[in-house]
Amino acid sequence: MLALVAALGACSKAASPVTSAPDGNADRGRALLQQYGCAYCHVIPGVATARGTFGPPLENVGKRVYLAGTLPNSRANMAAWIRTPQAIKPGTAMLDLHVTETDARDMVAYLYRLR
């Protein structure tokens, strides 16, 4: 019985959204959003040429409860979504742009300012 309680506790921890906040350089992240072409699909406040309408606008993205409709919004989850959207939600229109882990952290640092 005790083993079952311990196992259930471990499951609930694994199912919890990731909330650790990776550090990042927001100024560099803003430039990277342009460099990786995010501006072609999204409106991104503070990124002058980001006027795309294919993807959702990213204003207030840091306040949203979910990313991609199902992924709990945390800095770590957003970085994972930016890096490997097809692995998280196969068939999504979000492209896998081969964003590095460091670049994703910096992009998230900027995007989380949009609250």
| pLDDT score of 49 | 81
Task: Write down how long the chain is.
Answer: 115
Note every long-range contact of 70-76, with CB atoms under 8 Å and residues 24 or more positions apart, other chains counting: 72/17, 72/18, 73/17, 74/17, 74/18, 74/19, 74/20, 74/21, 75/19, 75/20, 75/21, 75/22, 75/108, 75/112, 76/18, 76/19, 76/20, 76/21, 76/22
Residue extents of the structural domains in the chain: 21-111
* Whether CATH 2.60.40.10 fits 21-111: no
Q: What pTM did the predictor assign? A: 0.78
| pLDDT score of 6 | 42
- pLDDT tens digit at each of 115 positions of the chain: 444 334 444 443 333 334 444 589 999 999 999 999 998 999 999 988 888 888 899 999 999 999 999 999 999 999 999 999 999 999 999 999 999 999 999 999 999 998 8
